[in-house]
Copies of this chain bind each other. A is one copy, B any other.
Amino acid sequence: MKHVGVAILGLGVVGSGTYEILRDHRQMYQKTQNVDIVVENVLELRKERAIALGISEDKIASSIDTICNNPNVDIVVEVMGGITFAKDFVLKALEAGKTVVTSNKELYCKFSHELEACAKMHNAGLYYEASCVGGVPVIRAQLDNLQGNKILSLLGIVNGTTNYILTKMSALGVSYQEVLKEAQSLGYAEANPTADVEGYDATYKLSILSSLSFGTKVPYTKIYREGITNINQKDISYGKQLGYVLKLLAIGKNNPEGIEVRVHPTFISSSHPLASVNDSYNAVFITGDAVEDVMLYGRGAGKLPTGSAIVGDIIYAATHEKINYSPFKNTMDADPNTNFIKNFSSAYYLRLSVKDEKGVLAKVTSIFSKYNISCEKLIQDINEDKTANLIIITHIAKEYDINQAVEEINKDEACDVEAVIRVN
């Protein structure tokens, strides 16, 4: 039986989950996978965490070098998070010829070109299934299942915190601030929630996933990003009336004219499979030219679900000869031949506050037609104070045209565009 020694860097939530899974399933893996996986080292400054897990003191390494020099360690699991130490440690492990398994989306997104070059040079494996959508196989599905397809698009709900907040806002009719507070007290949102609510986390994941999907490097810097902090309850509620659900979507499209990548709040039809992905669940909806639509759904984060992805990668690395490097040229920047579309096409939801007076609607629609925007649906909702809410769903329009039309409408005293939300 093959012996595989593992070192875990960081015994936070995912690290301790990984340890527990490996410990509790050791005999199962001996039987089903014919491998004996043993945690040989952990790197964790707070020793009490290791001791609480029953890890003997001699396995607690004092530095990354101890681990790199330990001949019994074959695979290094990086679940520390952050990018400073994590990057340094991962590079050291790869240089020592250790295979690395990481859950660190920011690290992999920003530095995979460096890490992969180092891994190749030292013939080491580099696995990152746990970086996106917890235990749901969104990475490997692209590497090993859908690789016969040209992937046309991917739509993802890839951040649990924002999906939890939007689900609660929709279900309870309460404000963003109120739900955020509750999510923080439940531990579903960080004390500093910026990375999640402003869409950075989703951007890292979209970069990783769309590079795989489209077979070319999609740096996160190319991704249009908008968070959920300005979402107003009103819009969720008007959206519902119109048959839409609001989600923070990560969107990647491989159009004939180029690649379109964006993360922003998006209305989707309530009959779309992604519409019923609620709470902290995540899903990725992939369309390939052969497979058509595929959706992969599950827990996007958490101790054991993310640990499941880490352990899946450990076993894969232990039982497969071939190392899966990126099936595209993994450079820091995008291939100069790749065109990224900024002026993309979409339908739009607009909410305007207008004075309830003659001619206002005519003004709005004339500006729309100037910019080639046409309305598919329109609701006028008159308030008591002689103003009205005008809710418009446009046909497909160009992003730049919408921006210009909004700017022009806002110049008029009688009209104020209060919300612009893309509709997929």
Binds B, one of A45-53, A172-180, A248-256, A284-292: A284-292
Q: A291-B308, A308-B288, A308-B290 are in contact. Are A145 and B137 (CB under 8 A)?
A: yes
Binds B, one of A68-76, A297-305, A398-406: A297-305
Q: Is A191 an interface residue (CB 8 A)?
A: no
A319: chain B residues at CB < 8 Å are: 322
Q: Is A327 an interface residue (CB 8 A)?
A: yes
Q: By the criterion of a CB under 8 Å from any partner CB, how many residues of chain A are at the interface?
A: 56
A145: chain B residues at CB < 8 Å are: 129, 135, 137, 140, 309, 312, 316
A273: chain B residues at CB < 8 Å are: 276, 297
Hey, what's the 0/1 contact readout for A30-51 against B, CB within 8 Å counting as 1?
A: 0111000000000000000000
Let me know if A144 and B144 touch, CB within 8 A.
Answer: yes
A320: chain B residues at CB < 8 Å are: 320-322
Q: Is A28 an interface residue (CB 8 A)?
A: yes
Partner of A291, one of B140, B288, B305: B305
Binds B, one of A146-154, A223-231, A334-342: A146-154
Q: Is A21 an interface residue (CB 8 A)?
A: yes
Let me know if B148 and A315 touch, CB within 8 A.
Answer: yes
- Known contacts A144-B312, A145-B312, A291-B309; can you find 20 more A-B pairs with CB under 8 A? A21-B290, A25-B150, A32-B215, A33-B327, A135-B288, A135-B294, A137-B141, A137-B144, A140-B144, A141-B141, A147-B316, A148-B311, A271-B276, A291-B298, A291-B299, A292-B305, A294-B296, A294-B298, A319-B322, A320-B320
Q: Which 7 A-B pairs have the closest CB atoms?
A: A148-B311, A135-B291, A137-B145, A291-B308, A321-B321, A294-B298, A290-B308
Interface residues of A (CB under 8 A from B): 17, 21, 25, 28-29, 31-33, 129, 134-137, 140-141, 144-150, 215, 271, 273, 276, 288-299, 302, 304-305, 307-312, 314-316, 319-322, 327-328
